[in-house]
């Protein structure tokens, strides 16, 4: 799905130099590179604050904790996302309330949100899935009407835009992941929280260091959630290239869209108001499982994001959801497959994937 070695080789000297500076300084925890990276990301996302944390999951957890969301509260989100979105809600003691997805963007369907709001609802977590933003204006309008907070799960969407506004700058918080396979990936786990509120930013800063400003004095109950200096150093280098890499992803996606247009498969659709960064290039067809086997037989990596919608996860059975409750998310989970799309993939490699898909279409009658 992605070849990280190619990316590393293209900027190897810069990366190694950045790491060597950290090693020479021996400032591994909250070293100067962390603050430098935070300043750069805040400017990039057009937010007042950016706070580095240990993972995208930690970003979501700390955002929820800073808002005082916990036992007895409800948080509206999508069932079609990585588990961290929902797990974070549960891990602060709140209850996730699911809203089905739009079948074209795979993002939360804003038209269905109002029906799920109760007196216990405290926040909405839209997920910018696969690299394009959810339809944020109606979500923000609903949040304003009902006095709710909005936490953007932008883990897959660094650099994407909604009506010329960057992902992570739209809600009360933006939460990012720097897992190695992300568009901006570190050399391990890492995450970030963006916001524009002085009060909320101060809470995040405290919560990521056990809940205090001064060692041994903890007014808040926090965690050890800091971004490592080594990760910050690597990410500073990579941030210089993120727009270039995202543009490459768009170009590779355009090539797939043009070459595969005659096939009866559903391909990614970019909303008119969005600038897509194609973290994943996802096809959709009823014969998905047959295609998975076929592509693997051709030594083509492919993946399903995500095979089980979160409302049907075993650990969430206590919520009482049943199959059929979220029909669009459930259908997408049965039909989607991601094919390789990353900045360094070559045209010949894409052609090999395209030829395989064409061969499959001749062997198996495709229904989308």
pTM above 0.85, yes or no: yes
pLDDT digits (tens), the chain, 368 positions: 999 999 999 999 999 999 999 999 999 999 999 999 999 999 999 999 999 999 999 999 999 999 999 999 999 999 999 999 999 999 999 999 999 999 999 999 999 999 999 999 999 999 999 999 999 999 999 999 999 999 999 999 999 999 999 999 999 999 999 999 999 999 999 999 999 999 999 999 999 999 999 999 999 999 999 999 999 999 999 999 999 999 999 999 999 999 999 998 999 999 999 999 999 999 999 999 999 999 999 999 999 999 999 999 999 999 999 999 999 999 999 999 999 999 999 999 999 999 999 999 998 877 66
- Counted residue by residue, the chain has a size of 368
What are the residue ranges spanned by the domains of the chain? 4-100+107-239, 242-363
Q: Enter the CATH code of domain 4-100+107-239.
A: 3.40.640.10
**Rounded alpha-carbon distances, angstroms, from residue 309 to 56, 248, 321, 325:** 19, 30, 11, 11
Pairing of strands 149-153, 121-125: parallel
Write down the H helix ranges in the chain: 4-10, 12-25, 32-45, 56-66, 83-91, 136-146, 198-207, 229-239, 242-259, 288-297, 327-335, 347-363
Contact 341, 281 (CB under 8 A): yes
pLDDT of amino acid 365: 73
Q: Enter the CATH code of domain 242-363.
A: 3.90.1150.10
Q: The sheet that has 173-177: what strands, in order across it?
A: 49-53, 191-195, 173-177, 149-153, 121-125, 74-77, 95-98
Rounded (10°) angle between helices 32-45 and 229-239? 40
If we measure between CA atoms, which residue out of 44, 63, 58, 38 comes closest to residue 151? 63
Residue 278 gets the label, from left (phi > 0), alpha (psi -120 to 50) or beta, of left
**Which residues on adjacent β-strands are paired with residue 282?**
338
**At residue 46, what are phi and psi to the nearest 5 degrees?**
60, 45
């Amino acid at each position: 799905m992605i070849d990280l070695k190619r990316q590393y080789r293209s900027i190897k000297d810069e990366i190694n130099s950045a790491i060597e500076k950290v090693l020479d300084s021996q400032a591994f925890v909250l070293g100067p590179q962390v603050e430098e990276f935070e300043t750069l990301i805040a400017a990039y996302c057009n937010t007042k604050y950016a706070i580095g944390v240990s993972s995208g999951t930690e970003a979501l957890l700390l955002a929820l904790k800073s808002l005082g969301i916990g036992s007895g509260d409800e948080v509206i989100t999508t069932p079609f996302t990585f588990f961290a979105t929902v797990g974070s809600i549960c891990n602060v003691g709140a209850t996730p309330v699911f809203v089905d997805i739009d079948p074209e963007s795979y993002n939360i369907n804003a038209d269905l949100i109002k029906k799920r709001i109760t007196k216990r609802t405290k926040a909405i977590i839209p997920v910018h899935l696969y690299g394009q933003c959810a339809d944020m204006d109606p979500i923000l309008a609903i949040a304003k009407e009902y006095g709710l907070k909005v936490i953007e799960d932008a883990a897959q969407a660094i650099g994407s835009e909604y009506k010329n506004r960057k992902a992570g700058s739209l809600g009360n918080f933006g939460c990012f992941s720097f897992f190695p396979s992300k568009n901006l990936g570190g050399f391990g786990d890492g995450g970030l929280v963006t916001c524009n509120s002085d009060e909320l930013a101060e809470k995040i800063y405290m919560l990521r260091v056990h809940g205090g400003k001064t060692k041994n004095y903890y007014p808040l109950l926090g965690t050890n959630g800091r971004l490592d200096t080594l990760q910050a150093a690597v990410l500073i280098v990579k941030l210089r290239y993120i727009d270039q890499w995202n543009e490459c992803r768009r170009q590779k996606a355009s090539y797939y869209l043009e070459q595969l247009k005659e096939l009866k498969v559903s391909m990614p659709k970019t909303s008119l108001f969005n600038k897509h960064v194609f973290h994943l290039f996802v096809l959709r067809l009823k014969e998905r499982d047959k295609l998975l086997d076929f592509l693997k037989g051709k030594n083509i990596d492919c993946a399903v994001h995500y095979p089980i919608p979160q409302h049907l996860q075993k650990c969430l059975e206590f919520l009482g959801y049943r199959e059929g409750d979220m029909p669009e998310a459930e259908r997408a989970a049965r039909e989607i497959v991601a094919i390789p799309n990353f900045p360094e993939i070559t045209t010949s490699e894409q052609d090999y994937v395209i030829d395989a898909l064409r061969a499959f279409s001749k062997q198996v009658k495709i229904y989308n």
